[in-house]
């Protein structure tokens, strides 16, 4: 199976309908990530087929759970899940933030090459970030534990907003340590095509 066939089958298995041209952009993003990864070590996953399941499809599995118009991807790294999200949902304004300049250099290159007008890239620490408006959704895939995630980004979430935390096994210990001003409002077990490990999307809301 080619990488394109794997991606097509995975999108179908997730039940997603993507906009025209989205699959080509996802494949172009994958190629760009692989090219930069040889020099800048953006991800530990180097095999193209594993990148489809571990990165693209894993990110796309969260797409149905986004509400609102603005999204902040914290500790975006190589652009996951923010870039696949921006490609799949052009109606969303997606901001990627990372403190490592070589990573945001890649993100800016991806924004330009893929012509993602709904993507914004910020270099800096999330706790220091002071945008003009707060976000409807703040997501992280590999940023920190839940308590640190909500604490460092509390000033960036709208009062009606939600945090989405992409996790592996159900993080019972992290949930137990959450501050009293936040609650878990939902927990979605994600089934990612080609991924044999447990994946959970934890939805958090301000109390």
pLDDT tens, 13-29?
A: 999 999 999 999 999 99
Per DSSP (E only), the strands in 38-156 are 70-74, 93-98, 119-123, 135-140
* Residue-level pLDDT at 48: 72
What's the mean per-residue pLDDT of the chain? 94
- Residue 21: CB partners within 8 Å, gap ≥ 6? none
Interval 169-189 mean pLDDT: 96
Torsion of CA 115, 50, 195, 150, to 10 degrees: -50
Percentage of the residues of the chain whose pLDDT score is greater than 70: 97
Interval 50-71 mean pLDDT: 93
SS3 assignment, position 170 = coil
Which sequence spans correspond to the domains of the chain?
A: 3-206
CATH of domain 3-206: 3.40.50.150
Q: 188: alpha, beta or left, given left = phi > 0 and alpha = psi -120 to 50?
A: beta
* Residue-level pLDDT at 6: 95
Residue positions in the annotated binding site for S-adenosyl-L-methionine? 75, 80, 126-127, 141
If one compares 180 and 49, the residue with the highest pLDDT of the two is 180
How far, in Å, CA of 148 to CA of 164, rounded? 13
If one compares 1 and 96, the residue with the highest pLDDT of the two is 96
How far, in Å, CA of 2 to CA of 49, rounded? 8
* Residue-level pLDDT at 44: 65
pLDDT at 43 over 90: no
pLDDT tens for residues 120-149?
A: 999 999 999 999 999 999 999 978 899 999
| 132 and 156 Cβ atoms separated by less than 8 Å | no
How far, in Å, CA of 134 to CA of 155, rounded? 8
Interval 44-68 mean pLDDT: 87
* Residue-level pLDDT at 40: 67
How far, in Å, CA of 82 to CA of 87, rounded? 9
Residue positions in the annotated binding site? 75, 80, 126-127, 141
């Amino acid at each position: 199976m080619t990488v394109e066939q794997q991606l097509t089958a995975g999108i179908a298995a997730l039940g997603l309908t993507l906009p025209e041209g989205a699959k080509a952009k996802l494949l172009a993003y994958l190629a760009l990530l692989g090219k930069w990864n040889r020099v800048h070590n953006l991800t530990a996953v180097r095999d193209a087929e594993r990148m489809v399941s571990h990165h693209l499809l894993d990110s796309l599995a969260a797409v149905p759970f986004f509400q609102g118009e603005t999204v902040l991807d914290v500790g975006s790294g190589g652009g996951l899940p923010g870039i696949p999200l921006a490609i799949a949902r052009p109606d969303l304004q997606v901001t990627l933030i990372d403190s490592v300049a070589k990573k945001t250099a890649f993100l800016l290159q991806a924004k330009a090459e893929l012509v993602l007008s709904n993507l914004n890239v910020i270099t800096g620490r999330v706790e220091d970030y002071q945008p003009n408006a707060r976000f409807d959704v703040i997501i992280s895939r590999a940023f920190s534990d839940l308590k640190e995630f909500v604490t460092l980004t509390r000033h960036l979430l709208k009062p009606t907003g939600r945090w989405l935390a992409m996790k592996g096994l159900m993080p019972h210990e992290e949930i137990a340590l959450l501050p009293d001003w936040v609650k878990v409002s939902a927990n979605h077990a994600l089934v990612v095509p080609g991924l044999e490990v447990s994946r959970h999307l934890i939805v958090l809301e301000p109390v």
